[in-house]
Amino acid sequence: MNTVIRIGTRGSKLALWQAHHVAELIKASGCRTEIVPIETRGDKILDVSIAKIGSKGVFTEEIEQQLLDGSIDIAVHSAKDLSSTIHDELELIAFTEREVPNDVVVTLKKNFSLKNEGIVIGTSSTRRVAFLKHFYPQAEVVSIRGNLQTRIEKLKNGACDALILAYAGMHRMGYDELVSDKIETSYFVPPVGQGSIAIECHKKLSYDKKEIVERWVNHVPTELCIRTERAFLKTLEGGCSIPSFGYAWLEGPTVTLKAGIISLDGKKIVKVKRSAPAEEGKDLGKSIATEVLANGGAEILNDIRKVVKA
């Protein structure tokens, strides 16, 4: 097969791992691939929190531009980095099988616990900061940004006692031995899409290339769950810097979604958990978002938008 699919990706080690993973899945079709690393705004600005530079497209905008001008065929993103809405001419066509979605505690200290007094926790996520303030108010939280290797180096240099990160990235980079605790999703609910890789393309991408990606990369149960979560996020109109959360899972013919929003100071949480037939996932996501907004979520969101660029 002479077809070549050009894959656009961020240039970090984790992003390149994800691109190579997708390329490996496509390879089974007999189609060749070419990986095109692209630097994004989020990769360039490391001394300011995501909340301050604005979350919309911070890790995706430059990559999406190359989809629009035809320089690449598909873009590989961490599904959690995607904005709640994407460009009218682009679409999401595949989601890889989801890795364990949990947040994890990463530390070099023995007998470390989030319950300990006087601890310093590093994270760049407004959701994780808010959850830490809510569940572990005795902890001091510091902003730690950069790629995974940079953050771990900062941990080793004593910038903090522990990091809170996604299990998926730690596992994919082979850092499992640094994970001291997997935080239950029952209270540290993951952000929408965490653990899966999303594939984006131009709506006018050739049928042949789309079919290859959909057939060889997409994991249908994961897709159903993440489209449920994204329907919630879109209705909420939340970006990456809004401390919203949404995690859907399948049990037989039923999809369950737990989703909501937490205030920046961790004092107010609005959370809804409901189930529906799997084929009604998107409607479930929309209705849960509407319920969250009606039960105090809109007020939390307005307060957040006064201090955070969404």
Per-residue pLDDT of the chain (310 residues; tens, 9 = 90+): 678 999 999 999 999 999 999 999 999 999 999 999 998 765 544 444 444 434 445 567 889 999 999 999 999 999 998 888 899 999 999 999 999 999 999 999 999 999 999 999 999 899 999 999 999 999 999 999 888 999 999 999 999 999 999 999 999 999 999 999 999 999 999 999 999 999 999 999 999 999 999 999 999 999 999 999 999 999 998 666 789 999 999 999 999 999 999 999 999 999 999 999 999 999 999 999 999 999 999 999 999 988 876 5
Rounded Cα distance, 19 and 34, in Å: 10
Question: What pLDDT score was predicted for residue 53?
Answer: 37
CB 199 within 8 A of CB 95: yes
Predicted pLDDT at 309: 65
User: What pLDDT is stored for residue 43 in this prediction?
Assistant: 52
Among the listed residues 238, 234, 224, the one whose alpha carbon sits nearest the alpha carbon of residue 280: 224
308 by Cβ neighbours in 10 Å (0-12 / 13-18 / 19+) ranks as buried
DSSP code of residue 40: -
Number of H helices, E strands in the chain: 11, 13
Tokens of 272: 């809804």
Q: What are the φ and ψ backbone dihedral angles of 296, each rounded to 5 degrees?
A: 115, -10
Distance CA 209, CA 211 (A): 5
Rounded to the nearest angstrom, the gap between the alpha carbon of residue 68 and the centroid of all alpha carbons in its chain is 23
Calpha distance 102→85 (Å, rounded) = 24
The pLDDT value given to residue 308: 77
The torsion angle over the Cα atoms of residues 127, 180, 101 and 253, rounded to 10 degrees, is -120
H helix runs in the chain, sequence order: 13-27, 41-44, 50-53, 61-68, 126-135, 148-156, 167-172, 207-216, 220-236, 281-292, 298-305
β-pairing verdict for 269-277 and 254-262: antiparallel
Q: Where are the alpha helices (DSSP H) in 69-219?
A: 126-135, 148-156, 167-172, 207-216
Q: Which residues of 259-268 are buried (b: 16+ CB within 10 A; e: fewer)?
A: bbbbbbebeb
How far is Cα 31 from Cα 251, in angstroms, rounded to an integer? 34
Which residue is catalytic, options 73, 81, 103, 161?
A: 81
Annotated active-site residue 283? The verdict is no
Q: Burial level of 219, CB count in 10 A (0-12/13-18/19+)?
A: middle
pTM, two decimal places? 0.91
CA distance 19 to 58: 18
Cβ proximity of 124 and 58 under 8 Å: no
- How many beta carbons lie within 10 A of that of residue 111, not counting itself? 7
Catalogue all structural domains in the chain, each as residue range(s) with its CATH number: 1-98+196-218 (3.40.190.10), 103-182 (3.40.190.10), 220-310 (3.30.160.40)
Note the pLDDT of residue 58: 59
